[in-house]
Amino acid sequence: MQHDNLVEIEDVAFDYGARPVLKGINLTAKRGQVIAIMGSSGCGKTTLLRLIGGQIKPRQGTVRVAGESLGELNQAGLYRLRRKMGMLFQFGALFTDMTVFDNVAFQLREHSDLPEDAIRDMVLMKLHAVGLRGAAHLMPSELSGGMARRVALARAIALDPQLVMYDEPFAGLDPISLGITGNLIRRLTDTLGLTSILVTHDVHESLKIVDYVYFVSDGVIVAEGTADDIKASDLPYVHQFVHGEAEGPVTFHYPAAPYVEDLRLGGQSA
Amino acid sequence: MLKQAIERLGNRTLQGVGRIGFAIRFFVAILLHSGTAFRRFGLTIREMYFSGVQSLIIILVSGLFVGMVLGLQGYETLQTYGSEDALGILVAMSLVRELGPVVAALLFASRAGSAITAEIGLMKATEQLSAMEMMAVDPIARVVAPRFWAGVISMPLLAALFSAMGIFGGYLVGVQLIGVDEGSFWSQMQSAVDFEQDILNGVIKSVVFGIAITTIALFEGYDAPPTAEGVSGATTRTVVTSSLAVLALDFVLTAFMFRGLS
Ligand SMILES: Nc1ncnc2c1ncn2[C@@H]1O[C@H](COP(=O)(O)OP(=O)(O)OP(=O)(O)O)[C@@H](O)[C@H]1O
Ligand SMILES: [Mg+2]
C-alpha cells in the first residue's frame, strides 16, 4: 500500500543527556516533495535528520518512514528501510580510504550483484550529475570542501533512494554550483519521484526549489508553509530569518548566563 | 575529603568494570558479525596487508637482534658449565616458547594496534561509521570484523617469522662468529624442541595475544570520543592496555602449559 506521506513525525522530543533539544516536533513530507527545514544554528536540525534515519531514538513521539514506525523495527528492519534512504552528511563523511569512484560505488557493491561494468556506468552518471566525473580517481583528501560535498551528494543518491536527506547541501558552494545543486535536487525529486528533506540556511536558494518549509526554534516548529507563504509571511520569526535581521525573536546566542554577570561587571567586589 | 576520595575510587571502579563489560559485548558482536569477513575474504586479506605486512620489517629486524643477543648471552652462560653445544636448544626454546610470541605481540601492539585504533577512531570522528550505518551497511561486519580476523591470522605468522629470524640470529652469532659446532647446534635443537609441547603452545599463545590486541585496539577506536584528543588518548591506551594484557596472559598461559614440567 502506498502512503501519501513518506515521512511522518508526530510529537517527537529528544534530549542530549539532560539538555532537551527537540520538544515536540510535528512534520510530514509527502512523496515527491522537497521539504526544507530551517532554523538557527544549533537548534537541532541535524538531530532531526538523525531521528528520521533511525540513528537515534526519540524520547517521546513516533517517527514513521514509508508507513513503518522506526521505534518498532529491529536492526534488520531498520537496515532494510535505510536502503530506501540516502543521506548527505553535514561534513560529507566520505570514506577516506577509498577513491571518489569507490565512495559512490560503495552501496552498489554492498547491496547489489551488478557486474562491475554496470556499476561503472551508474557511478559515472551520478558523478556527472554533480559535475565531478573527471574527479573519479581522486582521493577524498585531494578534494576541496565544496567538491567533497558534491561527491557526498552523488553517493547519497547512488542507489536511487525514495527519500534523500541533505544536511546543508549548499554550504561552501560558489554561486554557480549552488544554483546547479539546487536545480539538481529539484530535478531528481521530480524525475525519480523521490522525496527530499533539505536542511539549509540558504533561504533564497532554497525558496526557489522547495515545496514546503518548516522553521524550527527552541525545539518546536514555529512556522511552516509553502515557499510563497513564507515569502509573504509577516510572522516576526520568519520575517527576521528571510531577511537576515539581527534583531528579533531568533536568538543568535547559545543559552547562557546574562552577559554582564559572565563578565563580572555586576558591581560585586572581586 | 576521605569520603570524596572513596567516592571517586568507587566511581572509577564502576566505570572500569562497565568498560570491560562493553568490551566483552563488543567482542561477542564481532564474532557474531564475522560472516562478511570470511565470505568476502578479500576484505580480510586487505587488512592483513595493512596490519601484517607492514609490521614485517620491524618484526624481522627485531627477531634477528633478539636472536643474536640470545646467542651471545646463552653462550656466556652455557660455556661456564661446558655445555655450549646446547646453545641451539637454548636459543630455539626461548624463542619458540616465550620470546617469539611475546615480543612479536608487543611489537604488533605498538605498530599495528595503535594504527587500528587511530583509523577506527578517526572514521568514527568524521562520521564515516554513521554514514555506513545510514547506507544499511553494518560497520562491525564491514570494517571491524575483517580487521579483527586479519590481526588474529597475522599474529601467529609474525611470531613464527620472529622466531625463525631469531634462530638465524643465534646461529650467526653462536656458530659463525663464536664457533660453536654447527652440527650439534642444529641436531640438539631438533631433538629437543617438541612439536606439541613447544611449537603448538607457542602458536596458541600468539593466537590468544592476537585476539587480545586486536579486540582492545578495535574497541578503543570504536569507543573513542570523536575528537582529536579522544583519538590520541585511545591510541595510547591501546598500546598500554594491550601490552599489559599480553604479559599477563603470557603468565597465565605459561602456568597452564608448562605446569609440572621437569
Ligand atoms: N553528540 C551530542 N552530544 C551532546 N549534545 C549534542 C550532540 N550533538 C548535538 N548536540 C547539541 O544539540 C543541539 C542541536 O544540534 P544539531 O547538530 O542538531 O544542530 P543543527 O541545527 O544541525 O545546527 P547547525 O545548523 O549548526 O548544523 C546543539 O545545541 C548541540 O549542542
Ligand atoms: Mg547541523
Asked whether B125 and B227 are in contact (CB, 8 A), the reply is yes
Q: What does the pLDDT look like over A18-62, one tens digit per residue?
A: 888 888 888 888 888 899 998 888 888 899 999 998 888 888 888
Q: Examine residue A92 and state whether it is found in any structural domain, yes or no.
A: yes
Rounded Cα distance between B248 and B242, Å, is 10
Q: What does the pLDDT look like over B89-118, one tens digit per residue?
A: 999 999 999 999 999 999 999 999 999 999
| DSSP state at residue A258 | -
Kindly indicate the confidence band of residue A251, based on its pLDDT and cuts at 50, 70 and 90. Answer: low
pLDDT of residue A1: 45
Chain B interface disruption, residue of A110, A111, A113, A162, most B CBs within 10 A: A110
Q: Examine residue A267 and state whether it is found in any structural domain, yes or no.
A: no
What is the distance of C-alpha B109 from the center of its chain? 6
Mean pLDDT of B136-140: 92
Domain boundaries, position A104: 5-262
Cα dist from A172 to A101, B37, B47, whole Å: 22, 38, 35
pLDDT of residue B115: 94
Asked whether A183 and A208 are in contact (CB, 8 A), the reply is no
The residue type at B143: V
CB under 8 Å to A27, separation ≥6 — which residues? A7, A8, A9, A35, A37, A48, A214, A221
Q: What does the pLDDT look like over B34-69, one tens digit per residue?
A: 888 888 898 899 999 988 888 999 999 999 999 999
In chain B, which residues have their Cβ closer than 8 Å to the Cβ of A87? 131, 134
* % of chain B beyond a pLDDT of 90: 65
A244 has pLDDT over 80? no
Mean pLDDT of B129-155: 93
Mean pLDDT of A238-258: 72
CATH number at residue A134: 3.40.50.300
Q: Examine residue A270 and state whether it is found in any structural domain, yes or no.
A: no
| DSSP state at residue A254 | P
Would the CB atoms of A95 and B128 count as touching at under 8 Å?
yes
pLDDT of residue B256: 87
Half-sphere exposure at residue A200, Cβ-oriented, CA atoms within 13 angstroms: 29
Sort strands A163-167 and A85-88 into parallel, antiparallel or unpaired.
parallel
pLDDT of residue A72: 86
Half-sphere exposure at residue A98, Cβ-oriented, CA atoms within 13 angstroms: 18
B261 has pLDDT over 70? no
Q: What does the pLDDT look like over A152-187, one tens digit per residue?
A: 989 998 888 889 999 988 877 788 888 888 888 888
Hey, is A193 helix, strand or coil?
coil
Taking CA–CA distances from B141, the nearest residue in chain A reads: A110
What is the distance of C-alpha B239 from the center of its chain? 11
Distance A47 CA to ligand 1 centre (A): 6
ipTM here = 0.82
| Other residues' Cβ atoms within 10 Å of the Cβ of residue B111 | 18
Cβ-count burial of A211 within 10 angstroms (0-12 exposed, 13-18 middle, 19+ buried)?
Answer: middle
Residue given cell 600468539 in the structure block: B206
| CB-based neighbours (< 5 A) of ligand 2, an ion | A 46, 90
Asked whether B108 and B155 are in contact (CB, 8 A), the reply is yes
Q: Is the pTM of this model over 0.90?
A: no
Residue given cell 641436531 in the structure block: B187
A236 has pLDDT over 50? yes
* % of chain A beyond a pLDDT of 70: 94
Mutate to test the pocket of ligand 1, among A25, A40, A45, A198 (most ligand atoms within 8 A of CB): A45
The number of folded domains in chain A is 1
Mean pLDDT of B113-139: 92
Cα dist from A37 to A43, A207, A234, B56, whole Å: 11, 11, 19, 52
Asked whether A151 and A132 are in contact (CB, 8 A), the reply is yes
Q: Average pLDDT, whole number, for chain A? A: 85
The residue type at B188: Q
Rounded Cα distance between A193 and A55, Å, is 25
Give the binding-site residues of ligand 1, using a 6 Å CB cut-off.
Answer: A 16, 21, 39, 41-47, 90
A255 has pLDDT over 80? no
A269 has pLDDT over 80? no
